[in-house]
Amino acid sequence: MPTIEWRSILALLTAGLIVSTRSPIGTSSIGSIGNAVETASARIADNLSGDGPHLGFDTFAYPGDDAMQAWLTADKPYRWVGYYLSAPCHNDTSWQGKRETLSTMGWGMAVIYVGQQTWGKIPGQKVAITRYVAKRVQQVKTRNGKRVVSYVNKRVPVKVLVAPRTSPGSSCSTQFVNAARGTADANDAIAKTADEGFGNGTVIFLDIERMETVPKAMRDYYEAWTKRVVEDGRFRPAYYAHSFNADLIYGDVKQVLAAAGVSGDPPFWIASERGFAIDKAPTEVGHAFAQVWQGLLDVVETHNGVKLPIDVNVAQLPSPSEDYRAGE
C-alpha cells in the first residue's frame, strides 16, 4: 500500500504529474493508463442515478471538502465514494471524521476496512536464514615430519529455519493472518465504524486482496472476522475481493452466515477489469452475488478543475454501505 502523504500528492497533481494512490488493488504504469482514462471519460457520460447502475469511485486519501463538492456538482455522475476506515493495512486517517460532511453534501458511501493480507506468502511458514555458530574444528599440521592434530573454535555459517518476524510496531503483516486476529480486527472495524457515526445496519467491506492460492490461515481470518461482526449485530459483514478469489470467499462466508441464522447473500464488491463498462450491472462481472463492480483501476480524472487518482466502480445501490436488506 502506498504511504504517500496527500499534501505531496496534491503538489504532484498541481504540477501536472499523474500519480496513483490506490490501496492495494493492483497498480498500472502512468503510460499504460492514458488511453484507459480517455476511454473511460468518453463512456462515463450518462447519468446512471435512475434505474441503472450507480457510479462511484474510491481513492486512498481523502481529497478534501472542496474537491468532493466539486466532483459532486460536476457533469459526470459520481454519486458514491469509498470511505476508508483507518485499518491494519491502511494507516491513512484522512477520511476520519468526514462521514457527516459527505452525507450532508449528498454522497453515498461504501465503508472499507483493509484487513490483514497474505502478500503472496504463506502465513506462519518458516524461512531459511544464515546464522553463524561456534564450532570445534580439527586442524592438522606437519611439524618436523610429524602429523600434529589440534582443535580450534571457529564461527561457521549454518542454514536454519525460523519463524519470520514482524517489524516492531507493525499492524499489517502476513504473520497476523489467523483466526484470533480476524476476531480482533473485526472488533476494531466495529468500533471505528461506530465512532464515525455510521448507523446500525451499515455494511463494512473487508478488503481481501487477490491471492494465487488462499491459505487456510486466511480463510480462518475472514471467517472469524465475519462471525464476530455478526455476533456484535450492529453492522453487516461484506467483502471486497478479486474475481479470481470471489467464489471461494463467498462459499466460506456464506456458511458462517448460515450457521448464524443469516439468510441471503452477503454483499460483495468484485474487482475485475475484464468486460467492464459503466452501463453494466455489477452482476455482469460474472458473480450473481456481486453488489459492486470495480472495473477501472488507477485512472486519473479532472472534474470542475480538480484532478484525482481513482478507481471506477458501479454499484447496485446508490450508497453501497447503507441499509442493505436484499435477500432477507
Are 87 and 114 contacting, i.e. CB atoms less than 8 angstroms apart?
yes
Chain segment 198-219, per-residue pLDDT in tens: 999 999 999 999 999 999 999 9
CA separation for the pair 293, 315 (Å, rounded): 6
- Per-residue confidence (pLDDT) for residue 190, from 0 to 100: 98
Question: What's the one-letter identity of residue 125?
Answer: Q
CA separation for the pair 53, 279 (Å, rounded): 6
Residue bearing cell 455478526: 230
SS3 content of the chain, % helix, strand, coil (to 5): 30, 30, 40
- Per-residue confidence (pLDDT) for residue 159, from 0 to 100: 62
DSSP class of residue 323 equals -
Residue 198's Cβ-side half-sphere holds a number of Cα atoms within 13 Å equal to 31
Chain segment 308-318, per-residue pLDDT in tens: 999 999 999 99
For the chain, how big is the Rg over CA atoms in Å? 25
Of 182 and 120, more confident: 182
Are 163 and 103 contacting, i.e. CB atoms less than 8 angstroms apart?
no
Are 138 and 193 contacting, i.e. CB atoms less than 8 angstroms apart?
no
Q: Is the pLDDT of residue 32 over 70?
A: no
Domains present along the chain, CATH in parentheses: 6-123+166-315 (3.20.20.80), 127-161 (no CATH)
Helix, coil or strand: residue 1: coil
Chain segment 135-150, per-residue pLDDT in tens: 777 777 887 778 877 7
Chain segment 234-260, per-residue pLDDT in tens: 999 999 999 999 999 999 999 999 999
- Stated as kind and residue range, the H or E segment containing 223 is helix 216-232
